[in-house]
Structure 1
Amino acid sequence: MRLRTVLATATAGLAAATCLTAAGPANADVHADVHADLHAVTATTPDSHACSPAVSVDRFSDALDKTTYDGTFVGNLSALAVDRDGSLAAVSDRSALFALDGKTLAPRAVVPLADESGAALDSEGLVVDRDGTRLISSETEPSVRRYSRDGRILDRLPVPDALKVAPAGRAVSNGTFEGLTLLPGGRTLLASMEYALAGDSAGIVRFQTWRRAEGGHFRLSRQYAYRTDAGLGVPEVQATPDGRLLVLERGFTAGVGNTVRLYLADPRRATDTSGVENLTGQDGVRLIKKTPLADIVNCPSLGATAKQPQPNPLLDNIEGMAITGYSKGRLKVLLVSDDNQNAAQTTRFYYLRVRI
């Protein structure tokens, strides 16, 4: 999303990326020297890249910052997903769906996105379904639509009235479906609201689910409540192989910079809030339990530079997340920041290792 300023209180698998290289005429407008923007640092000790006891950052890449591909600006990236062939899908909130090389990040293709009337979307969440189609959320209405690989709309999922943007519902503009993930087994889809509904207590956001029915269509199912840290919203959520969730929380303070925190959350004992009109935090509702994994401000900077004030120059407007590998309770996680096509921000990829 084009993140507004909020008061923040503080913040299978991909191989190691080396550099972005042009891959023929379609890539001719990618900067030839973009490999110079990739910072890969080899750890001298296991702790040298630690952000917390549970999270470490291997490297980061600015390889796609302020580049274009096939005439389309490569940026404004809001979500990532691993495709069935190991490549990456990445969605821009300016109505573009990119295919990226899983190792180098080099763009391979771009597909324009639109709604049923041909209007642009504020695309925020992305899931590659088991048949290769793309489920994409837009926070404009909000909506979740199914697209073919070439950008044709195949289906549109129902959305509860309360989650629609006012005056149709109680959601705030630019604060609806940001995260989208498919739970293990592929039968349950989950979308995370970024901010609270009008009438709900500040910081309590709703997670909506759908269950796959006959014919593969998704039908409305349970809803859960999650409490963010003060001043933060939820830009992304990803299901772990054991059915829990990785949740990103994010905020921005002008003159200070971003706060980005990573949590492990468990919705399995949370109350179904689909019939609860107002969430007050004092209503007996069992919220999704969350456990802190890392505050990204505590990660080593790895030589990163920031174009605007940041409490750690590694930080930027982190918005997308994908789990790219899993083994024995350890995840490989890829994050990406949304540069908002702004000279003061950076499209940056972060390669994390997360112990859950």
Structure 2
Amino acid sequence: MRLRSVLAVLTAGLAAATCVTAAGPATAQPGPADSARGKACSPAVSIDRFSDALDKTTYEGTFVGNFSALAVDRGGALVALSDRSSLFTLDPRTLSPRSVVPLADESGAALDSEGLVVDRDGTRLVSSETEPSVRRYGRDGTVLGRLPVPDALRVAPAGRAASNQTFEALTLLPGGRTLLAGMEGSLSGDTPGIVRLQTWQRHPGHGARDFRLAAQYGYRTDTGLGVVETTATPDGRLLVLERGFTAGVGNTVRLYLADPRRATDTGRVEALTGQGGVRLVRKTLLADLVDCPSLGATAKQPQPNPLLDNIEGMTITGRAHGGALKILLVSDDNQGAAQTTRFYSLRVRL
């Protein structure tokens, strides 16, 4: 489905989400302060609405939540990845689940599934933080293959990565030939706050599924934040979601525009310090989501803005009039009482 068609369906879906039984408000209700401010989070980003319709629900005996990534399927449906080894297809009009597929590794073990791409042939590319890994799955959850991963990016002692700090983000660049995975945290030996973005290149003549290791880049996060999602823009740049959490204060979530095209290939750089002639990926702040209007949202734990939660997934769903990108975000509730499964509909002007 074309992006404009997907946009129309998803916009209707978020507006109609009240038909799904859920805890908490299902749609945004702007208060007086929000009406005065409008829906701007920054000069580049505005929020249209949010939905809590799926919070603390189940589908066919499977908990609906723990969402770590989003994608738009070829037919226009939403695909939502749970980090508890489940892949949901969601109705774009109501957000209600249409199906759920369990995921596992080659031995049948569970994954810490974090990143998701729907490839051009409809198969699913899923990253896991466990090793880390990137696997290709059929629509029925069958493992079809696995991509190579540099030794340094593996979790210690096999490599230099910390547990739960690896492939949190995954995106396919325009043209479908380059896949990019983002590490959430820094490798041992790299300056804290500088993370690695690994790419794979699809080589013509070697099969549509054949991704081979390609360039790697360094990216500097804000202090205390990690990379939790990347999404390629139509012009080949990246939307990068950085997130952190402070107990008793709440979440920090910032959206950046990043451009890796002039960055140094760091695949053979042992230690990333941000010096020594290595050009890191340049980034520009689009919005700190604490500055968005709350739209009447409520929070189950302290938050600097009650709209915020543990936001972790992001996908582009189309374009608005004037060219702004329509972005859908989702939070990971960790299946906990203090967090919410919440969808956010944003407009982003690059």
Relative to the length of structure 1, the TM-score reads 0.91
Distance 1:148 1:231 in 2: 37
- Is 1:215 the counterpart of 2:207? The answer is yes
Residue 37 of structure 1 is matched in structure 2 by: 25
Unaligned runs of 5+ in 1: 1-11, 23-31
Q: Distance in 2 between matches of 1:274 and 1:109?
A: 39
Q: Deviations over 1:66-91 (max 9, x none)?
A: 00001000010000000011110010
Task: Describe how 1:116-265 pairs up with structure 2 within 5 A.
Answer: 116-213=106-203, 214-216=206-208, 217-265=210-258
> 8 Å contact 1:19–1:35 — kept in the other structure?
no
**Do the aligned residues in 2 keep the contact of 1:19 with 1:38 (CA within 8 Å)?**
no
- Contact in 1 for aligned 2:201/2:212 (Cα 8 Å): yes
Q: Tell me if the contact between 2:73 and 2:118 (Cα under 8 Å) persists in the aligned partners.
A: yes
How many residues align structurally?
A: 336
Match of residue 108, structure 1, among 87, 90, 98: 98
Give the superposition deviation at 1:21. 7.3
Match of 1:337 in 2: 331
Is the contact between residue 18 and residue 38 of structure 1 (CA under 8 Å) also seen in structure 2? no
How far residue 140 of structure 1 moved from its aligned partner, in angstroms, is 0.3
Shift of 1:33: 3.7
Where do residues 267-306 of structure 1 align in structure 2 (5 Å cutoff)?
267-306=260-299
Matched ranges for 1:23-102 at <5 A: 33-34=21-22, 37-41=25-29, 48-102=38-92
Match of 1:29 in 2: none
Measure how far apart 1:34 and its partner are: 3.0
Amino acid at match of 1:71: G
1:18 is displaced (CA, Å) by 2.8
* CA distance in structure 1 between the partners assigned to 2:162 and 2:24 by the alignment: 41
2:16 is aligned with what amino acid? C
Give the structure 2 partner of residue 310 of structure 1. Answer: 303
The superposition leaves residues 196-239 of structure 1 with CA deviations (integer Å, 9 ceiling, x where unpaired) of 00000010000000001220210000000100000100000000
Could you tell me whether the CA contact under 8 Å between 1:166 and 1:172 is conserved in 2? yes
Could you tell me whether the CA contact under 8 Å between 2:68 and 2:332 is conserved in 1? yes
Within 1, Cα distance between the matches of 2:102 and 2:36?
Answer: 42
User: Match of 1:40, as an amino acid?
Assistant: A
Query: Structure 1 residue runs of 4+, over 6 Å off?
Result: 42-46
Cα distance in 2 for residues equivalent to 1:254 and 1:317: 12
Cα deviation, 1:252-311, whole Å, max 9, x if unaligned, reads 000000000000000000000001010011221101000000000000000000000000
Cα 1:36/1:200, change in 2 over 3 Å: closer
> Structure 1 CA distance, aligned partners of 2:295 and 2:25?
13
